[in-house]
Chains A and B, each alone.
Chain A
Amino acid sequence: MKGVLVDITRCVGCGSCVVACKLYNNLPWSNAPHLGKDAVLTADNWTVVKEFDVSKGKESVWRFVKEQCFHCLEPACASACFAAAFRKTPEGPVIYNERVCVGCRYCMIACPFSIPKYEWQARFPRVQKCQMCFYRVKDGEMPACVSVCPAGALKFGDRDALLKEAKERIAQNPGRYVNHVYGEKEYGGTCWLYLSDVPFEQLGFRTHVSTESIPHVSERVTKWTLPVAGGWAAVLTALYLATKGSGGAEKSH
């Protein structure tokens, strides 16, 4: 399973990754900003680099966060979709098949990171999000964004190896990083991992979240469906037969 390690301390905010994404995926340049404080993911912005002005110790600093789909190990979007339009590939990327999508947008509700976006202006809109350049990754190449990063902020590789490396970077540079690899455990873990020197909650990350994956949470209720259906049908049949004679026949008219 592949992944990408994002080291926020190394990102200079140049936005090369955004350009590479637009070009490789043939996405139009829309009005929604893709760089800066107001950068926002949209159907055309599969990745953006968002600027945060934060204080670190006494000084105030800029930090840049590359945002895109996290490619969860157990993706909520895929488990929510009733047409199986989202699929977790063995290589890691979570990809979307527009042909079968019904457009119910439950995936947008289900994703804990609010990643999937919608082509609102289209007659038959698609759900849009980063595909982690699936066809490149499948061929053993790195995603387009990673290949152009001039600052070494993005590193592509096996997720396990990247996680190990992230922990080593924290251990070997005392005081440089906050002691947390975002994506290791969040919602069951994600293929994209982040390192930072300022607390993640100041950088727009949702912290203190469940370490249980969303599919797992909903499985806790959906597993009851068939037993309840079967049991309830049996109980109702029994009640129906037991009370049949009472209170008049069914066809009383």
Chain B
Amino acid sequence: MAYEFPEGWRFRMTGWRKFFILVFLVAVGVMIYRLVYGLGAATHLNDQWPWGWWIAVDVLIGVALAGGGYSTAFLVHILHRKQFAPVARAALLTSMLGYILVLIGLFMDIGRWYNFWRPFLVYPGSWHSVLFEVFWCISLYTMVQVLEFGSIVFERVKSDWLKRVFDAMLPPLFILGVVLPTLHQSSLGSLYVVTVDRLDPLWWSIALPIFFLLSSFFVGPAMVTLEGSLAAKAYGRQMEIPVLSRLVKVGAWVMFIYLVLKLIDLGYRNQFGHLFDGSLESNLFLLEIVGGVIVPMIMFAIPSVRNSAGGLITASVLTVGGVILNRMNVVFTGMAAAMGGHYFPKWTEFMVTAGLIALAVLAYCFLVENFAILPAEEHVPAGKPSEAHTSYTVVG
């Protein structure tokens, strides 16, 4: 396998990248301010709204959208469906970056941050906490991903010995790399099981963990598609449409299962009346389900749509939007009536999120340009993915 190794590490500077660096630097300032002066100074959180923007976006949405990593890993590394291999590394990279951001976001949100390590200790009874499980799984999974990524890094660093060590670790890591996300993606839903009688019954369900798990799985292909299209644009490459098209078909099936379970759940809890009562809750719920699940599911199901770049991207945008809206609805819309009070994020809250995203984009660019992440184009001509062999190039 021939790699084109450039001399030394490279990072191309462009106008956009300078802008992202600026955004990130401002966010670093805001984060320092938050850590020094506390949550009251840096956020609009209050006693009615103890959880707000950072938990909703940086943690719940961040983890869900990073679901592309484990759903792709499941198909490629567990089921050995090599036809999806061309996108596996990019999916792993964005997922890993996503989780690192989630951990930083979580750190920003905890009030007594010098105690962040405490939940790693097991206190009597602390294992009953859903958050205990979430915290452990997310931390471990981030480590697993860093190790998986290590095997890619050591291709580039050319230490055969280390590369062998990493490769030997891979099979158990692959298994952990699916088990852990399965647990915490669902546990993020379990977090809201305690809000029984308070979270609007359109969203509250004892099956919340299953819904969070399934939606994090089907948003994976959509995220991989969007990342793929952005990378294609940025690096002047072809989108891997045949691979992605097959991937979103898997996603569409999971969406279908999700939809059926949702309907059964609503019916079981007699909520169909509430569904069409015209309240803000019901309208946002319908928007989420129709616009974010049913429409993209149908689009993914139609071959001519999912085989065109336009259709693929549009349906993926809808899917991602639907999952974002779902998490927002659980944290805000569904809780508003019970919590009362008022909350709208402070600019500093938005700024931290923007800074974290900027950091992710910069890190992605650096890693893709210096490590073998994206498949070598000559091996994967559009329309005919290679079945057995996937090779990777360093782009940029």
Contact = CB atoms under 8 A, between A and B. Distances in A.
A78 B131 CA distance: 12
Nearest to A187: B197
A59 interface: no
Interface string B110-139: 111111101100011110111111010000
Contact of B123 (A84, A236, A247): A84
Interface in A167-190: none
Contacts of A136: none
Contacts of B114: 124
A71 B254 CA distance: 43
B197 A253 contact: no
Given A218-B193, A228-B182, A246 B129 contact: no
Interface string B131-156: 11101000000000000000000000
Contact of A240 (B112, B125, B175, B392): B175
B343 interface: no
Interface in A195-215: 206, 209-210, 214-215
B246 interface: no
B109 A104 contact: yes
B135 A82 contact: yes
A100 B243 CA distance: 49
Contacts of A109: 50-51, 191, 194-195
A36 interface: no
A102 B110 contact: yes
Contacts of B130: 80, 218, 221-222
B179 A236 contact: yes
B36 A123 contact: yes
Interface residues of B, number: 73
A102 B389 contact: no
A118 interface: yes
Task: Point out which of B37, B119, B171, B179 has the most chain A C-beta atoms below 10 A from its C-beta.
Answer: B179
A161 interface: no
Interface string B278-316: 000000000000000000000000000000000000000
A105 B43 CA distance: 14
A76, A100, A105, most chain B CB atoms within 10 A: A105
Interface in A204-242: 206, 209-210, 214-215, 217-222, 225, 228-229, 232-233, 236-237, 239-240
A151 interface: no
Q: Is the interface of A mostly helix, strand, loop or mixed?
A: loop
A197 B279 CA distance: 34
Contacts of A237: 175
B196 A233 contact: no
A108 interface: yes
A247 B111 contact: no
Contacts of A218: 128, 130, 190, 193-194
A222 B179 CA distance: 15
Contact of A246 (B37, B47, B48, B80): B80
Interface string B1-16: 1000000000000000
A79 B129 contact: yes
Interface residues of A, number: 60
B389 to A, nearest CB: 5
A122 B170 CA distance: 45
Given A120-B40, A222-B128, A252-B390, A83 B50 contact: no
A125 B45 CA distance: 13
Given A120-B45, A123-B37, A243 B79 contact: yes
B80 A221 contact: no
Nearest to A230: B179
Contact of B50 (A100, A105, A219, A236): A105
Nearest to A99: B115
Interface in B3-51: 36-41, 45-48, 50-51
Given A82-B135, A225-B183, A102 B167 contact: no
Nearest to B121: A83
A124 B48 CA distance: 19
A239 to B, nearest CB: 5
- Which 4 A-B pairs give the minimum distances between C-beta atoms? A103-B111, A84-B123, A120-B40, A82-B132
Interface of B: 1, 36-41, 45-48, 50-51, 74, 77-83, 85, 109-116, 118-119, 123-126, 128-133, 135, 167, 170-171, 174-176, 178-179, 182-183, 187, 190-191, 193-198, 206, 208-209, 339, 372, 387-392
Given A82-B129, A108-B47, 10 more contacts: A80-B194, A109-B194, A109-B195, A221-B130, A232-B179, A236-B74, A236-B175, A243-B81, A247-B82, A248-B387
